[in-house]
Homo-oligomer: A and B are copies of this chain.
């Protein structure tokens, strides 16, 4: 149940609306944990019931918008979860599964699978590098919000991530 913790993590940088969260899942946290909009709103409701977040209703004209902020219990839970060491999820890799049966199809088909695979990971790598660069230059909105902590620390986190 990690959408929950991903949300807590984002909210730990500051309060925001469900919509904002959706955006972050689209282009920043989404890099490591993706979640669709249809999962975020219900989860926020559940989290509020569980006392992990608090919400306040605001208005923009007639439009209702609900701001969510992390609660004390939420912060505690987030920290607990980060420290917790758990088992890894079972392996499930569609390409490797396909690769097991490459002997069943023409060589050319296998080759284009692998080409597509390489292309995919090259794109991915580019995205990561771009993202890492952005973080180093402090261009990330969430990171900016976190500047209550000193910046170099985040750099190390990111370095660790990239090392992985």
Contact = CB atoms under 8 A, between A and B. Distances in A.
Interface of A: 2, 5-6, 9, 12, 29-34, 78-79, 81-83, 85-86, 88-105, 109-110, 112-114, 116-117, 120, 146, 149, 153-154, 157, 160-161, 164
Contacts of A32: 91-93, 96-97, 100
Contact of A9 (B31, B34, B89, B97): B97
B79 A104 contact: yes
A102 B102 CA distance: 41
The copy count of this chain in the complex is 2
Nearest to A95: B164
A153 B95 CA distance: 18
* Closest CB pairs A-B (n = 5): A34-B90, A32-B96, A83-B109, A33-B97, A82-B101
A67 to B, nearest CB: 21
A101 B2 CA distance: 13
A89 B94 contact: yes
